[in-house]
Structure 1
């Protein structure tokens, strides 16, 4: 389980550290930084896929994603007694992302390129670190990257250089993870690659989930929900069939879901009380289809270590938010969840679940801050 997520210098997230539990809810008004937090999580996951530089370039390059405020905000400015003013920068420009789990932690530091040219919008990876435990210290780090050099802690407890010419756009997570030399990096990379994000379910008339699709065993629902029918049938055969029925009955009393298969094409059907035939996916309302997509994602027979939902309440009737909260709570017993939402009824429903931690975000002088009584978790970034 991830215990801490940290981000620095990304959009409105000037310096943010979040303690995490089994079930985590990120909420706040529009413009408070929820979407930025979600994107930062996705960027961190992109590191394990070797896509973090490309993902930042797609957002307009590092300059467009960096914190746009001053490096320091005076106490007088925070009290409204003085204007917010820029100062001479003392620290290097950096966008930093990291997390610490129950066993390992990882952080990456991205900065501006040294040279221009055709790829001047691409950020460079300046430093990385992997350590054991909840926070980075000198005595618990076993893999570091500074510039092009990667050092690993060997069996004699000495740090040896295993790479000397790593490109500034390549991560040590993708180029130094080795089952013999660096099994911890390999384990951590594969764990991060297994994180799942759901935020772009299409439920419009042309959405792929509304059409019959060729089906194969699908323990993990696709990010766009195109293989919904196959994913639901897989839950029926090798997953928790009873939990699926319970989730459907909780949201739609007297209803049930069945999967039709014709010449290898799978299609969702939903039986409702009083109807003589099941409704096809093309006939379902946007909210009903979205709930089925969320159920398929949350009841996966192969749960990930981390599952992130971004505004799952979209298109849902308020009456469906309590059943969705119970479904998310049940899923959190098998996977760590982060739910980003501004729907107060869903927040209230999730707050009733065990091991739920709620983070309410707000903006202060353009900076995202967390309304919390507890102190932020201890955190240290790797040095360049």
Structure 2
């Protein structure tokens, strides 16, 4: 279901942005209208932290565009004149801000001054040909003669306007238009999206049915040594701790008042008293190695005796679901058939996506999965990518020559 309104947070830290995204998910039942994070250009409300350069620039843009804006306020700072949200972020403060937002209010944008033809000769350093309007001098402080008080004099009347629009004789020279070699600074960038030609070429070389392979294996920790890029203290995303042996023994993580999370790399399992949605923030930020506290031998024994360990493929699935951004991975054929090979127990954590998983227990086209689960295509794309990340996805490309379904 599409949200009623869009909010964007500019100028804050990555942790605060991720915290806001998580709070919007948790508060769906409390808010009068549904909200989601989105780009500034589509936002109904822009939350800015004016303590940063990006936040101050975004604040100016909202004034010029007439978009509703709320400022981040820290204790000890002067209260903003309009909407504000205190730090640290709290659920009650966010509910009060969003429920108090009036979508029908119209904010008058800051008027933009339109300059005439004199704009290009107002400050050229030639004071001899310029004269001052005496009627404006009384409104200008001493020693601060604004550029708006200058007007063109006789010298500006004699400008050679034809010379300004005369074509450069070298403009049509092919040597000036097309360089004969690339410069040393030229970079070659691979286009992420497949073209029609590359898609057709790849379909001639691959088999019809595919076993989706996700980078680094099917969500299992790589038994080889830790890659060079993952040596040191971090920070790294949670998925790197799951796919590589960064942790040598069971360790506990507990940050920012979030529920504790224990990883057991030998059994590739995790333990937490909280459901998956309450662990989302761990997937939306980078974690330092020092954030993890090793368990003692007694704690490890108690952990194994409790029998509460669950496979951490559930964490990998959730991580890819949250970072997919509603875009199907480029190696998949949108007209193909998709299904999963085994069930993932997410019905209590993500009941909506559990319906999508249920629809994927048999081969279906993407639009058929969305129709059967009463889901949007972006939600289906996220689920396909998530099951691909844990190695449970199979898919079959559309046979060549078969017409696409309407």
Instruction: Say which one has the larger Rg.
Output: 2
TM-score (norm 2): 0.23
Query: Which structure is higher in helix share?
Result: 2
Query: Which structure is higher in strand share?
Result: 1
